[in-house]
Amino acid sequence: MRGHTEFMANVLVTGGAGYVGSVCCRQLLDQGHSVVVIDDLSTGHRAALPPDITFFQLDVGDRVALSELLRTYQFEAVFHFAAKALIPESIVNPGTFFDSNVASGIVMLEALRAAGIRKFVFSSSAAVYGSPSVMPILEEHPKSPVNAYGESKLMLENVLHWYAKAYGWSVVIFRYFNACGALGDCGENHEPETHLIPLLLQTAAGERSVFEIYGDDYPTPDGTCLRDFIHVVDIAQAHVRALDLLGAQRLDIYNVGTGRAHSIKEVCRAVEAVTGIRLAVKVGPRRLGDPPALCASPNRIKKNLDWKPKHSSLQEIIESAWTWMTTYASRTPSPSLEAVRGSQL
């Protein structure tokens, strides 16, 4: 059985001021590892990180600045979270996603290779699967992304396969399902917000007048889409466990999910139960490309990393996110909220 890592690592975290990255930084620090964060702050927030953490505002595609940083610090491993991730934007403006997530990613990998760093953990996505034909989804399931975001993640996964094979890298790839929840003052702070639970909580808080369900005629028990929700703390703890695997030349890929799917209506009811507020909900038309159900098979990560989702009940997810929203998040409504018809999943 695997426990915590037996060594203390000096870890470079890209995109560490973002949602998942900031929580992972705190988990690494709690385990005694040293952390240096780089983030261009295009979507991340410096305030999401401890004030005394070593931080550089830097784009991973800036080869000169990154190479200088790598000459200054000796890193054992790199956790790569930095990416453009707004799915609706990726559909209408795919070029920027391939530029940021693939081209800049390769610039970063070449800088790491020149510095002799060969241990790498990649934040990928269940979006690489597209609309799955079999559930729960195994890591070997065929990949057929339905948006440029998923395609960009899959492209960098493929690049990493060749780096592991040709250069002897040790790589762990995590495919997240629906990351959600909060850790203290670290929560989802996107502009615009497009994810289901924050949108529901904004509705409960009066920041938006109504929540729209995109279709209730799917072949599911209540007609709404089914999704696998995983607490951001559980995701971060998987990353910390991955340090145990980094050593021999290999590439490991893991789904990070619970193996259980909840419907949109079920999540609506759970938010009402936690907040005590009746939500204004309406049903709209389906959106192109929304699969009826997405649910991970987490068997591989449970076996190989001795990991299990300890914080991913709907109640704990929603309670933590609601506490963050009511305690730490800005209460100033954005005038753009009602205009956004983005991904609620």
Taking the CB of residue 120, how many other CB atoms lie within 10 A of it? 24
- CA–CA dist 76, 73 (Å, integer): 10
Torsions phi, psi for 73 (to 5 deg): -115, 150
Residues 6+ apart with CB under 8 A from 311: 181, 231, 233, 234, 317, 320
> Which one from 19, 129, 149, 214 is the annotated catalytic residue?
149
Paired tokens of 143: 């990949």
| Beta bridge mates, 39 | 57
Active site residue 73: no
Query: Which residues are catalytic, by number?
Result: 149
